[in-house]
Structure 1
């Protein structure tokens, strides 16, 4: 073997990082975003459980951030903007490896109507399931009463709640669904060969890595679902279980469909209904009871 054949090309070194590099990427991204939220959620749940029965407590999802209208608006927009930085980070990490993150994860509008149709279907199914799990959790005393919004009523309140829903949908689905499954798939393909190229990869450098075989798929789906469940535990055991189920469904359908946009649509609709539609749901008796 010649020196040219044995020496890795700089582009290959960048495009095919080692297992250690990818593990550190996962740890850092999750520590900056939803993994950190999961740790805090577990601590919050423990504190709430030690303070009073969960059925007697309330969790506010969108509180006001300042007493003055102008500064409340500024803080709300800053919170939304800065919380999306981890999404930019994972897109950057995909980009520097020579892949287009929007094409890799299907984070675009190329198949709008198909994506939207699947998104609406997931919204209806998961929305009904979410309400059912919430009601059951309240009955069993495993879930706190949820307040979708405690923001003061201003002209911008509903638009900001919609932006907050879009924030959550992008943050969770891009990181916990598309990117995390892609990184787990890459790690599985490098198993036993920490510095080698993955076994399969799209030559256009735009495709996502898929976990496999069967045991690998189960492990990847479980990891994604457990992370999703963890950062909802501050609401109680019920939402944790509900989001675990949703995480499994989303991961399985995503791995089959290969595009993240339907899940962004579905998640956004779920949160818009829960945030902006909270007053109506409360009057119907779904929340606070």
Structure 2
């Protein structure tokens, strides 16, 4: 049977339990993990999900259909250029800190970083696989966005409204890296590891993490929600099968870099871009 056969592919998408399951049975420790999960996500991406839901409800209550409204991702944060630059960097720092919090809590709980794929054993392979994941998600994702925009269930997403300052591309690249670091650490490595420790099945944890990923993209509309659930299912299963997190971070960062920087450079010359 070749590796590209349907049976082999279906086998790849089946979950593979890690060789060292870390199931926690002590009631006090289980309760502590649940509390930790609630605190982490109510201060990071879970709160972003709630804000996104409220933003979508506000958009739905407006007289204009969703596809006649727009939402920007990277926006100016100050009138003075250097202050804007500084505030953009603080936003990146916040994202890096969110991801670092997830890594620290796992490490503090006795989980070696190599077990979640944050080692330096195969940087070249992680990078190439990240590029493959970016292509797998990014190209169909653009088509899916255009379809959902056309049928009216998504807003027009503007990746950047930053002025053409000397630091614009730098900030957009750093924002892409910050987004990918925070999201892949928290909604893949951190939450899936914690749910394993609580005894959740791999499929249940995968679905929870994917819906969580979709939730904080609700501000873009139903298309952003559904598209990111699909991304979460693919990325989460990849991690469950390989325990390689760097590849996910690279893939996510490349998608955002192409979208953010590409839009900033090409928006004025491509008519169908919002």
What TM-score results when the alignment is normalised by the length of structure 1? 0.82
The within-5 A match list for 1:150-229 is 150-188=161-199, 216-229=201-214
Name the counterpart of 1:87. Answer: 99
Q: 1:250 aligns with which of 232, 235, 247?
A: 235
The within-5 A match list for 1:23-102 is 23-51=34-62, 52-100=64-112, 102=113
Unmatched segments (≥5 aa) in structure 1: 1-12, 189-210
In the alignment of these two chains, the number of paired residues is 248
Name the counterpart of 1:4. Answer: none
Segments of 4+ in structure 1 off by > 3 A?
A: 279-286
**Deviation at 1:104?**
2.7
1:287 partnered with 2:242: no
Root-mean-square deviation (CA), in Å?
1.8
Name the stretch that deviates more: 113-122 or 86-95.
Answer: 86-95
Equivalents in 1 of 2:92, 2:101: separation in Å? 15
**Deviation at 1:218?**
1.5
**Deviation at 1:279?**
3.6
Equivalents in 2 of 1:240, 1:281: separation in Å? 26
Equivalents in 1 of 2:271, 2:211: separation in Å? 30
Q: SS at the partner of 2:176?
A: helix
Q: 1:18 aligns with which of 23, 29, 38?
A: 29
**Deviation at 1:99?**
3.0
Larger radius of gyration: 1
Equivalents in 2 of 1:167, 1:40: separation in Å? 19
The answer to whether the 8 A contact 1:135-1:286 is kept is no
1:130 partnered with 2:148: no
**Deviation at 1:281?**
5.3
Unmatched segments (≥5 aa) in structure 2: 1-23
Equivalents in 1 of 2:173, 2:85: separation in Å? 13
